Amino acid sequence: DAKTTQPTSMDCAEGRAANLPCNHSTISGNEYVYWYRQIHSQGPQYIIHGLKNNETNEMASLIITEDRKSSTLILPHATLRDTAVYYCIYLSGANNLFFGTGTRLTVIP
């Protein structure tokens, strides 16, 4: 299984940017980094993915370091509804996604 390392938990004030880091030092050159989140008792929700360049969509931005060994997911203006567990994932020769334990983000009013 492809391993990523994320902090267990983080807090963020409502309206501020939430920056969630992820280390993926064993990623290879053609493997995408994916971010998902899971709100309690719901299925995982796809957020964003990237290969080398930084990416932005309506939900978040993804910053990938030049050596591709780490990335940061940015929620620019966190709301209470962003409270969830955030997973950073990449595939390594497998057809399934290994989610690990993720980062539990709590947005505080």
Partner 1 sequence: DVKVTQSSRYLVKRTGEKVFLECVQDMDHENMFWYRQDPGLGLRLIYFSYDVKMKEKGDIPEGYSVSREKKERFSLILESASTNQTSMYLCASRKTGGPETQYFGPGTRLLVL
Using rule CB under 8 A, residue 98 touches partner 1: yes
14: how many CB neighbours lie within 10 A of its CB? 13
Contact 62, 50 (CB under 8 A): yes
Give the Cβ contact number of residue 107 at 10 Å. Answer: 20
CA distance 69 to 80: 30
Q: How far is the CB of 74 from partner 1 (least distance, A)?
A: 19
Choice between 30 and 66, CB closer to partner 1:
30
Q: Which of residues 28-47 bind partner 1 (CB under 8 A)?
A: 32, 34, 36, 41-46
* 49 near partner 1 (CB under 8 A): yes
Residue 91 as a binder of partner 1 (CB under 8 A): the answer is yes
